[in-house]
Every structure is written in structure tokens, then in C-alpha cells.
Amino acid sequence: MKESDLQGGGSRVRRSRRRFVQGLAAGGVLAGLPAWAGAAMAASPLERDQPTLEGTEFDLVIGEMTVNFTGTPRRAITINGGIPGPILRWREGTTVTLRVTNRLKEPTSIHWHGILLPFEMDGVPGFSFDGISPGETFIYRFKVQQTGTYWYHSHTRFQEQVGMYGPIVIDPAGSDRIRSDRDYVLVLSDWTDSDPEWIFKRLKQSSDFFNFQQPTVGDFFTDVREMGLSAAIDKRKMWDQMRMNPTDLSDVSASAFTYLANGVPPAGNWTALARAGDRVRLRVINSAATTYFDMRIPGLKMTVVSADGQDVEPVEVDEFRIAVAETYDVMVRLPEDRAYTIFAQSIDRTGYVRGTIAPRVGMAAQVPQMDPKTWLTMADMGMGGMEGMEGHDMSTMGQKPAASEGGSGGMKGHDMSSMKGMQGQGGGDMKGHDMPSMKEMQGEMQGEMQGHDMSAMQNRQGGAGAPMTGRQGHDMSATKEMQNDALGTGPSVDSRAMAPSKSLSDPGPRVRDNGRKVLTYADLRTIGGPIDKRSATREITLRLTGNMRRFIWGFDGKKFSEVYPIEFRYGERLRITLINDSMMNHPIHLHGLWSEVESEDGKFQVRKHTVNVQPGKQISYLVTVDARGQWAYHCHLLYHMEAGMMRKVVVV
């Protein structure tokens, strides 16, 4: 086959009737272009190459344009007139200069996600600089100290949601250990025709506003047929008493989102060109505001070779879940000259991203059906072996305990040690169960609080030397009252993980036990091991908390506006443990510093800039504090961050 055969031809892609989910065949940025350009895009949208800027000097212009992905023109914020912005291609060891000009009527910013740089260049308003005012040009300049796949995005309110993001590829100074015949960047994202401020308001009013997977009468009768009337009633009763939704996996669904691949909706069929035998490198970036994707290419194995820009020992998988803000590089090889579908379904199974790898533009393969919309389990709530608890009275679990109850969440007097053996029991409630081991469990959980440091409380946001007047932070000398409060529930905390799992080998809800090999953190091993061989000299534990009904999110039950900064000490080796008390995944991003995830037995596993913490899970990682400044530390679900799940880290 000649190189020219890779261009043009093939049958036209059939437009989906589900236009809002699938999008338009052309879509994209149309305003501001001459008539002939818009017509060309509509006639052959697949032939558009994403612009790439290379070198050491870059000019980026932030502007406002009209886009049309769904049939309805909408305002977007673009970088150099595109969604996503141009690929920035840098080389390790060089110094890059990026002149960013703001043509908006509002302030803006660019954060270089996962990039090691001076904190003044990090691009977070209120932390590292004041932001970029309308009409202003801000110059970022820093040395490139790493290689791999990264991305950039606005860190100003909801601008990221409306199009302000783009990919970064950093080539090594020498040869690349990962050899490929073709190299493509694949940026996954979620687009909404709605104003993100409106979406945020609706989430605050009713967090399940966009969830159309509520248990139905039909689901109930299905359960009756499969498990009997009593067990079906008990199952509903349990979730109702906990005031939780077993299908709440994503804040916003395809009722408000259209999912994009490199700015192309599913009907547009973004295409990567490759021939039989080609080694194709896909640099996959999840730049969505809030959507997790489960990606696979039916008929092809994928070999994961890099995670968050760091080369890993190759691992072959059928599928991988990519959290918001993560990046994965995968290698695929086409066995024959035909089309293969790139399929990435949203975690809530309401929509998907679709593209194609094929020898020619216009070719398409079958798009698979989305997987079942299964319920969350008690294990996903950090209840360990509590599946089968249907029929037991859970109504006290959401209540704040009295001080005398020792932070047991209202479960006083109930023996949790027998819960694993209670699977399959139906009817009745938990009254009368003797729980002598509850105090032991409580003691273990309080023991986890040891090693927490209160030094962060010496400084309020941006200030120094303020007296320690609050309970924020973590200290070895924490009082019993403080520990009890940390383990309880309240207006900002609607649940606590009683037995959080430390397993890294669980791929998570809706992909576990699906018959495919799904990537987990336990599969990832960064080549070369840890950068720093030292053990931790200090430990900090943070609980990821929220109130689903009120859409309040934070660390340790506190929103960003209520807390002091966390203080890191320059030069120290720090262990951070995150415990997810909520029912949702949280991708936690620490700016400016690497997070080296530990295995369950405390050994180095994988180096990342964004660490996903699954519902009811606990994960630990080591941080070498080698960069002074003020760094953002937050959940990368945009609406969670804006609702309070963010902290400031001050390195002194």
C-alpha cells in the first residue's frame, strides 16, 4: 500500500439520530472562518489535522468563539481558535517561553498540568500569580525537566469546561525508548451546551439532577424475580435509609454532555491513520471537566507504556479506565488493513467517545454497545464485606455521633466483626447484635490519625504567623474530641468508610469482572524506580469527604474556604495517605511535585501527577518536597474543586 492510499476515500459515516449525544458529523469551531472553510470542514471533517507548535517560543491567544457540536451554536473559550488548543511539542532540557494573550472580557490563566516548574509559572490565580487580565499578555518561562505526555488548561472558574485545554508532548533529549511508526494525541473531553454556572447551580440544588439512572419500578420487579420479594424490599430500604443513590457514579451525564475526541463528537469519527503492521502510539489525555472514560479498541490489545508522562514497564490490557486529568500512552499494532473502533464510554454509561484507527479516512468499524449500568456495592462505600446487608437497619449511619459514642457514626453497640458472615441474611434490623469489636475498629481508625501534622495551621491562606485557632490539619497530639469529630458525620460529611480497602488491583465499579483485562494501578511499575530512595520522615492522612445531597466537597469535612494551608517542609520525604469516605472517585492532583504511589505492602509502585482514589478505598504515596512555593492540591473533578475540594500546600 502506498502512502497516498492513507488519504481520502471510503464510505461516509452515518449520522446518528441521537444527535445530542452523538453530535454533528462536522461540529467544531465554525465562527470566524470564511464560508469556504466552514463548507470544507462540513464536507470532510476527518481530514483536519490538529495544529502542532514546536520549538522554544510559543504564542497562545485566548479568545471567545461560537462553536456547534450538537446543532446549536454556543459560546466557547478557545486557544488559538481551536478546541482543543494546539499540541505544544517541547524537548527535554530546553527552556520554553510561552506568551499568553487574553482577548476575553474576563481574567484567565493557563496551568501546565504535571509540569515541574517554579511555582510563579504554575498558573493558578491566587496561588502563584494574579491571573491574566483582559488585554494583557503574560509570559511563562521555565526549563523543561521531563519527558512524556501532559496537558494544559485554564485554572479560572469553569473556563476549562467550555474549551480551554490542550495537549503537551515532551520529547526526550536523546532517543525515545518507546519506538513507534505513528504517533497520535487523543484528547478526551466533555462538552456542554449549557452554561457551567447553571450546571453548578443545579448540582447544588439537587446533586442527582443529571442522573437518569434512578432505581425504577421495573428494576424493583427484576430484583423480585431474581432475589425474592423480601430481599428486593430490603435492598431498596437499605439505600433509602442511607439516603444514597447506588447509581451515582458521575455528577453530570450525557443529558448535558456531548463527548469529544480531539474536539470531534462521536458522529464525526475522528480517525488515526495506520496500516497493517504499524506500531501506533496513542497518547490519551482525559481533559474532561468531570467525566471518567473506560477505553478499549475491540479486536486489538493495547500495551500501556506510560502513565502521567512517566514510562512504565509494558503491560498488555483490553481496557483501561482513565480518570479526569490522567494521561496514558498505549501501543497498538494493526493485524490487517481494516478499521478498528476506538471506544471510550463514560463511567455512568450514558454516552461515549468514538474514533477509528484505519488505513483511510472515512472507514468505520462497528461501535459496541455500552456496558450495563450496574449498582455500587457496600464495598464501594468502604463497608468491606457488607454485601448482603440488605434488611439491616442502616438509618443511623448518616447521623453525627455523640461524643460518648467515640465517633462510631451512630453504630454504637453493633458488632461489625460478624458482618462478613451475614451475607445472604434478609429481614430484620441490626438491633441486638453485640459488637465488641467496634471499639477495636474505632481504635484502629483513630490510630491512622497518628502522625498527622498541625504545622500547616500556623498559616492561613496566603498569610504567615497566624495563631493556630481551628481544628484543620493533623497532629499526633490531637485530642480525643478532635479524633471523634474527624470520624463522625455532619452537614459536610454524609458517610464514612468504615473499612477502606488498600487494594490497588481492583479496577473499580462497572469494569470489575467484565470479562476483559482492565488496567489497575497494581499493573503499573514506573521504569527506574523511585527518584528518591529515602523512606518517609513524616506522614499526613487526609479523608476525602462530601455531602452528596448538598453537593459539598472537601478534605476532612472542610471546604477550602474553611481551612488553613497544609505545610510541607522543604527537603523532607513525606507520605500522604488519602481515604475516600465518599461514593465517588476523586482524581487528586498535587501541583509542582511528583506523587509516588506505594503498593499495599509499602513498596514503590508508580510515579504520577494525578492519583485516583476509588470509592471506599485508601491509597498512600510518597512525595519528595523539592520545590518551594504555594501549590494547589485538589480534586480534578472541576465541580468538586469549585465546591470546596481543594487545599493550599505551602512549602517552607
Look up residue 399 and give its DSSP letter. Answer: S
- Residue 100 in grid coordinates: 499568553
How far apart, in whole angstroms, are the C-alpha atoms of residue 596 and residue 604? 7
With vertex at residue 612, the alpha carbon angle to CA 606 and CA 613, rounded to the nearest 5 degrees, is 110
- Residue 442 in grid coordinates: 474505632
Is residue 226 pLDDT above 80, yes or no?
Answer: no
DSSP letter string over 435-463?
A: -THHHHHHHHHHHTTTT---GGGG--TT-
Which amino acid type is present at position 569? R
At 564-579, the pLDDT tens digits run: 999 999 999 999 999 9
In percent, the amount of the chain with pLDDT more than 90 equals 64
CATH number at residue 270: 2.60.40.420
Q: Please tell me the predicted confidence (pLDDT) of residue 241.
A: 53
* Final residue of a structural domain among 337, 358, 379: 358
Average pLDDT over residues 275-302: 98
Q: Please tell me the predicted confidence (pLDDT) of residue 499.
A: 87
In a domain, 434, yes or no: no
Kindly indicate the confidence band of residue 234, based on its pLDDT and cuts at 50, 70 and 90.
low
* Final residue of a structural domain among 304, 328, 358: 358
Residue that has been written with the C-alpha cell 476509588 in this structure? 614
Look up residue 518 and give its DSSP letter. Answer: B
My answer on whether 8 and 150 are in the same domain is yes
In the β-sheet with 57-67, what is the strand arrangement from edge to edge? 74-79, 57-67, 95-102, 137-143
My answer on whether 163 and 303 are in the same domain is yes
In a domain, 298, yes or no: yes
- Residue 460 in grid coordinates: 492561613
**Ramachandran assignment for 608, one of left (phi > 0), alpha (psi -120 to 50 degrees), beta (any other):** beta
In a domain, 216, yes or no: no
Nearest to 307 by CA among 526, 453, 20, 51: 526
User: What separation in angstroms does the CA of 495 have from each of 243, 248, 485, 491, 502?
Assistant: 10, 14, 13, 11, 18
Residue that has been written with the C-alpha cell 510561552 in this structure? 98
Q: Please tell me the predicted confidence (pLDDT) of residue 208.
A: 76
In a domain, 236, yes or no: no
My answer on whether 160 and 297 are in the same domain is yes
pTM of the model: 0.79
Q: Please tell me the predicted confidence (pLDDT) of residue 373.
A: 84
How far apart, in whole angstroms, are the C-alpha atoms of residue 309 and residue 329? 8
3 state SS of 99:
strand
Contact criterion met (CB below 8 Å) for 112 and 85: no
My answer on whether 351 and 493 are in the same domain is no
How far apart, in whole angstroms, are the C-alpha atoms of residue 589 and residue 647? 11
In a domain, 398, yes or no: no
At 515-574, the pLDDT tens digits run: 999 999 999 999 999 999 999 999 999 999 998 888 999 999 999 999 999 999 999 999
Residue that has been written with the C-alpha cell 453493633 in this structure? 414
In a domain, 412, yes or no: no
At 1-11, the pLDDT tens digits run: 333 333 333 32
Q: Please tell me the predicted confidence (pLDDT) of residue 408.
A: 32
Q: Please tell me the predicted confidence (pLDDT) of residue 380.
A: 74
Nearest to 149 by CA among 356, 354, 312: 312
Q: Helix H segments across 23-110?
A: 35-43
Q: Helix H segments across 173-300?
A: 196-205, 217-227, 229-242
Residue that has been written with the C-alpha cell 440544588 in this structure? 205
List Cβ neighbours of 274 (8 Å cut-off, separation of 6 or more): 181, 182, 280, 334, 357, 358, 359
Average pLDDT over residues 91-102: 98
Residue that has been written with the C-alpha cell 460518648 in this structure? 404
In a domain, 84, yes or no: yes
Element (H, E) at 482: helix 480-487
Q: Please tell me the predicted confidence (pLDDT) of residue 377.
A: 75
My answer on whether 354 and 485 are in the same domain is no
DSSP letter string over 205-239?
A: H-TTTT------HHHHHHHHHHH-HHHHHHHHHHH
Domain, as residue range, for 625:
480-651
Torsion sign, CA atoms 32, 35, 37, 43: positive
* Final residue of a structural domain among 342, 358, 374: 358
Contact criterion met (CB below 8 Å) for 191 and 72: no
How far apart, in whole angstroms, are the C-alpha atoms of residue 15 and residue 22? 8
Number of domains in the chain: 2
In a domain, 209, yes or no: no
Torsion sign, CA atoms 614, 542, 624, 536: negative
In the β-sheet with 552-555, what is the strand arrangement from edge to edge? 552-555, 538-547, 573-580, 618-624, 595-598, 604-608
List Cβ neighbours of 619 (8 Å cut-off, separation of 6 or more): 502, 504, 521, 577, 578, 597, 611, 613
Kindly indicate the confidence band of residue 323, based on its pLDDT and cuts at 50, 70 and 90.
very high
- Indicate the burial class of 447 (C-beta count within 10 angstroms; 0-12, 13-18, 19 or more): exposed
Kindly indicate the confidence band of residue 66, based on its pLDDT and cuts at 50, 70 and 90.
very high
Q: Are strands 137-143 and 95-102 parallel, antiparallel or unpaired?
A: antiparallel
